[in-house]
């Protein structure tokens, strides 16, 4: 054998790697098959893609940026083959994973999700609190499935108080969307404390009614607090984002609304007992404070009684003296006023020899007030004189 035809392992593996790199047709090639041995390590995942005739080892870096498949699921991988020289391993480097046949469906769902999010359908501010102690709950689901039995069984483990009503609807298939939408609108006007929209797990095709825009908007429009419990823990429907609360499973939704009635009763009794003890203790404290306060007041009154009585006696004496002085002053003023009025009394003036002359019952103050022939009346201190004027003589003053 010619030595020139002998290659080292590194040279041979490098040639293989260059062949893959040189072939442009192998870049971003799509391959279909079933997932086998899927495992994640850090940010990367490793698995095989297989069909009935071959197995393709695969590596997906930053696997969370694409679809995360389930074991045995049929998928379409987009990527480029590579050969790892140092390890001597061939691997298909995956940059995109899509479930077979529903890649377009997923894109449609993502577009609808984006549209509804921009409208505020998923906003936290719109979400209503779930009541802690509901009395009547309506479950919108298929009454023939295991979901409603799981919900009832879970609630009854805690109490038999909550009244559970089932609104029977189809949860998959042709008429599921219209039935679910109509049911949500109907029960919203019946005064239930809470509503649970539920169904068990299934494929994406089975869960499609809960990705429908009409159902999502009906959930958003509910005035009744609503819990979405669709599928299994890893399933997320658009209804989950629009509802007031999302539970991973229908059983988890039942756990959310159920409450231990006996524990609640014990809590109430304990609260009443603490309140009663607090009242008794408060009454004792109030009684003690009132007694001490009364004693303090009594001691203070006794101490201040003598001084207060003395001050009151002095005040009374000062008031009496002030009253006497005021009365004396008033009496003097009144007598003085009476004297002044007496000096101004016309009768007193007439007693001094003065007379007043009247004509027609009106007093005459000057000679112009009478003329010859007038009858006049002359009033003195002791009587009246009736006379006739025989002459009038005026003097210039």
Cα separation, 253 vs 150, whole angstroms: 10
Q: Quick: pLDDT tens for 268-311.
A: 777 787 777 777 676 677 777 777 776 777 666 666 666 766 77
Please report where in the chains the tokens 């004693």 appear, as a residue: 295
The contacts of residue 361 (CB under 8 Å, 6+ apart) are 377
Spatial contact of 41 and 108, defined as CB atoms under 8 Å apart: no
The Cα diameter of the chain in Å comes to 196
Which H or E run contains 33? strand 29-41
Tokens standing for 338?
A: 């009476």
Walk across the sheet containing 375-379 and list its strands: 362-363, 356-359, 375-379, 384-388
User: pTM here?
Assistant: 0.49
Q: What are the C-alpha distances in Å from 173 to residues 21, 106, 179, 222?
A: 47, 18, 11, 23
Dist. CA 189–CA 223, nearest whole Å: 8
Best CA proximity match to 58, nearest among 78, 43, 72, 88: 78
User: For residue 343, what are its two tokens?
Assistant: 């000096």
Per-residue pLDDT tens, the chain, 397 aa: give them: 556 678 888 888 888 888 888 887 788 899 999 999 999 999 999 999 998 889 999 999 999 889 888 888 889 999 999 988 888 889 999 999 988 766 567 778 889 999 999 999 999 999 999 999 999 999 999 998 889 999 999 999 999 899 999 999 999 988 999 999 999 999 999 999 999 999 988 777 788 899 999 999 999 999 999 999 997 766 678 999 999 999 989 999 999 999 887 777 676 777 787 777 777 676 677 777 777 776 777 666 666 666 766 777 777 788 878 777 887 787 777 777 766 666 655 556 656 667 888 888 788 878 877 888 888 888 887 888 888 888 888 877 6
53 Cβ neighbours under 8 A, 6+ residues apart: none
Give, rounded to a whole angstrom, the gap between the first and last alpha carbons of the chain: 183
Task: Tell me the pLDDT tens digit for each residue of 215-229.
Answer: 999 999 999 999 999
Q: Residue 30 and residue 167: Cα distance in Å, rounded? A: 45
Please choose, from the candidates 126, 124, 232, 142, the residue with its C-alpha nearest in 3D space to the C-alpha of residue 196: 142
pLDDT at position 156: 93
């Amino acid at each position: 054998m010619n030595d020139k035809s002998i290659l080292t392992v590194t040279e041979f593996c490098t040639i293989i790697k260059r062949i893959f790199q040189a072939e442009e047709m192998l870049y971003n090639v799509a391959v279909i098959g079933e997932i086998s041995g899927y495992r994640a390590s850090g940010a990367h995942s490793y698995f095989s893609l297989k069909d009935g005739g071959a197995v393709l080892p695969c590596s997906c870096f930053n696997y969370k940026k694409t679809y995360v498949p389930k074991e045995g699921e049929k998928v379409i991988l987009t990527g480029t083959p590579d050969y790892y020289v140092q390890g001597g391993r061939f691997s298909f480097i995956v940059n995109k994973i899509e479930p077979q046949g529903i890649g377009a469906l997923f894109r449609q769902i993502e577009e609808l999700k984006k549209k509804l999010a921009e409208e505020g359908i998923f906003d936290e501010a719109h979400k209503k609190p779930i009541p802690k102690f509901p009395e009547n709950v309506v479950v919108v689901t298929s009454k023939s499935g295991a979901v409603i039995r799981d919900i009832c069984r879970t609630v009854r483990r805690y109490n038999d108080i909550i009244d559970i009503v089932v609104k029977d609807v189809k949860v998959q298939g042709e008429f599921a969307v219209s039935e679910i939408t109509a049911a949500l609108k109907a029960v919203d006007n019946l005064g239930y404390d809470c509503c649970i929209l539920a169904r068990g797990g299934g494929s994406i095709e089975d869960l499609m009614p809960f990705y429908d825009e009409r159902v999502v908007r009906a959930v958003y429009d509910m005035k009744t607090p609503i819990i979405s419990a669709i599928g299994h823990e890893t399933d997320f429907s658009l209804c989950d984002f629009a509802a007031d609360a999302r539970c991973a499973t229908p059983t988890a939704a039942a756990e959310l609304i159920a409450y231990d009635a006996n524990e609640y009763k014990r809590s109430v009794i304990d609260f009443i007992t603490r309140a009663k003890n607090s009242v008794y203790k408060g009454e004792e404290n109030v009684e003690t404070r009132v007694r001490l306060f009364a004693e303090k007041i009594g001691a203070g009154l006794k101490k201040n009684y003598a001084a207060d009585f003395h001050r009151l006696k002095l005040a009374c004496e000062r008031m009496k003296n002030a009253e006497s002085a005021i009365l004396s002053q008033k009496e003097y003023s009144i007598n003085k006023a009476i004297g002044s009025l007496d000096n101004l009394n016309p009768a007193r003036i007439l007693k001094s020899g003065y007379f007043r002359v009247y004509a027609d019952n009106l007093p005459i103050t000057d000679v112009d007030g009478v003329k010859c022939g007038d009858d006049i009346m002359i009033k003195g201190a002791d009587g009246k004189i009736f006379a006739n004027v025989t002459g009038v003589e005026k003097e210039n003053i």
